[in-house]
Amino acid sequence: MKNKHNSKKSVRENSRNITENPYITPVYAGRWDTQPIEKNVLPQDSMPSNVAYQIVSDEMNLEGNPALNLATFVTTWMEPEADELIKLGATKNLVDEDEYPQLKAIEDRIIKMEANLFNVPDDCVPTGVTTIGSSEAIMLALLAHKWTWRNKQKAAGKDTSQPNIIFGADVHTCWEKFSRYFDVEMRVIPLQKNNYTIDIDEILPLVDENTIAMGVVVGTTFTGQVDDIKAINELLLQHKEKTGQNIPIHVDAASGGFVLPFFKPEFEWDFRLEQVRTINVSNHKYGLVYAGMGSVIFKDESDLPPELPFEINYLGGSMYNYSLNFSKGSSNLLAQYYMFLRLGKAGYQDIIKAVMTNAQYLEKELAASGFFEILTDSNYLPVVVVKLIDDSAFDVYQISDELRKYGWIVPAYSLPPNAEETVVLRMVVKENFSRDLADKLLSEVFTVIEQLKNNQTSKRENKKAVGQIEQTGQVKQKIIHGTC
């Protein structure tokens, strides 16, 4: 089917032809403040704190409802105790290690807990840092691979000007960002019409002595599927034995890193595999903290070249910093520490099990409706991705648009090359998505489909009627008048 919505305009673009009102029109704050407040100019005068608060919170009423947002993987609810710690953490800059040594100690504990969760072998000394999200974590890991490769090439007196990295088209944009921003050729394995993860037969033809790393994903952004990491590890081990080329694997576990250890602990995707040297995870996804935190874990200190972290002394004392930005709050760090202590392994297991059960239920019911083909495997990630079995009358973009009227945010999109013909709906199931919400969503999906089907039928019938009318000149004229 032709992807007629590929050029779909965003809400922002659509509203461009509406003349923007230059003044804020507060809702409840209007009770206190009657002066017009300019939107784009710093106000000349101050205002009382309650008025400013009300204006800002009024604006938030214009947003979607996070509880009905199935587009995002990111946590949308935390306990009140976590909210208190978030306030506490907001007052402390995480990089001020000398002033706040306990924050650094907590960060180190979190990294160690995660390394342990990802089964780091006993003879390794893992290290890592917390980041703003998985994008920063991935870039830090891949930079380390670039440096390691360069050091190796230099030591062997070889060219260092043309590094490359291999990954599938199933990766998140941040992988392409890394390649472009840090000047590393990307060798992308395209998807196929019916296979949305890496085809391992495509890997070795792309490998050479300039390959800095192989990227794989557990929980792809597009379908929530998992690359066959075990087979890829095996392939690279054999390649190492044959050629001496040692290609490290970076695992993007943004979504799967806090799901698989609890739901499928026996599934080997992590540091148990020899070639896996670095892993990133999004704490703000199934780590169950709000947006703004990821982690990168190096299997062993030797995987992070010592030239990369900066030694800094101007904050008092001496500290090492490895990050792309510098200052950041400590809110999420404290929130994550709280969650680890609060839930423990058993708590995460219970939550993830409930989330997976709801995802599997949603998947089963959508499949049973006869309208959808399921593209995901909710045995691994609580993500449900479907395509229409018959999209001749209406498409997933229309379903997504109609669901929006009920408050649901369910994105529709086309898959990456060479599977772009496949257009899908994605539902990310999170802790706040209860069985009741699943039933409500299902009922509204089916209502929307009935409406779209009826619209199509009435459009077809209208067309037929117009055809009949047009055969009689008299009525044709009526129609012409009617349209004026």
Ligand X SMILES: Cc1ncc(COP(=O)(O)O)c(C=O)c1O
Query: What is the contact surface with ligand X in residues (CB under 6 A)?
Result: 73, 133-135, 172, 174, 217, 219-221, 252, 254-255, 282, 294
The Cα–Cα gap between 267 and 449 comes to: 38
Question: Length of the chain in residues, anyone?
Answer: 484
**Which of 54/223 has CB closer to ligand X?**
223
Smallest separation (angstroms) from ligand X to the CB of 231? 19
The Cα–Cα gap between 219 and 216 comes to: 10
**Which of 135/278 has CB closer to ligand X?**
135
Smallest separation (angstroms) from ligand X to the CB of 221? 4
Contacts of residue 417, defined as CB under 8 A and 6 or more positions apart, other chains included, come to 169, 190, 191
Smallest separation (angstroms) from ligand X to the CB of 134? 3
Smallest separation (angstroms) from ligand X to the CB of 254? 4
Smallest separation (angstroms) from ligand X to the CB of 219? 6
Phi then psi for residue 462, to 5 deg, are -60, -40
Contact call for residues 106 and 114 (beta carbons, < 8 A): no
Q: Is 370 left (phi over 0), alpha (psi -120 to 50) or beta?
A: left
Smallest separation (angstroms) from ligand X to the CB of 17? 32
What is the number of the residue whose Cβ is closest to ligand X?
Answer: 133
DSSP H helices, 27-167, are 49-60, 80-90, 101-117, 134-155
**Which of 135/148 has CB closer to ligand X?**
135
Give 302-310 contacts, CB < 8 A, sequence gap 24+: 303/127, 303/144, 303/148, 303/248, 303/277, 303/278, 304/127, 304/144, 305/144, 305/147, 305/148, 305/151, 307/147, 308/143, 308/144, 308/147
**Which of 143/448 has CB closer to ligand X?**
143
Half-sphere CA count of 73, side-chain side, radius 13 A: 30
The pairing of beta strand 164-168 with beta strand 211-217: parallel
Asked if residue 418 has a cis previous peptide bond (ω within 30° of 0), the answer is: yes
Phi then psi for residue 155, to 5 deg, are -60, -30
| H helix or E strand, kind and range, residue 127 | strand 127-131
**Which of 23/181 has CB closer to ligand X?**
181
**Which of 131/358 has CB closer to ligand X?**
131
**Which of 221/233 has CB closer to ligand X?**
221
Give the three-state DSSP class for 402. Answer: helix
Smallest separation (angstroms) from ligand X to the CB of 72? 8
**Which of 425/448 has CB closer to ligand X?**
425
Contact call for residues 412 and 4 (beta carbons, < 8 A): no
Smallest separation (angstroms) from ligand X to the CB of 307? 25
**Which of 255/358 has CB closer to ligand X?**
255
Residues paired with 297 in a beta bridge: 128, 279
Smallest separation (angstroms) from ligand X to the CB of 224? 9
**Which of 247/253 has CB closer to ligand X?**
253
The Cα–Cα gap between 359 and 73 comes to: 13
Smallest separation (angstroms) from ligand X to the CB of 136? 7
Amino acid at 469: I
Structure tokens at 331: 């809110």
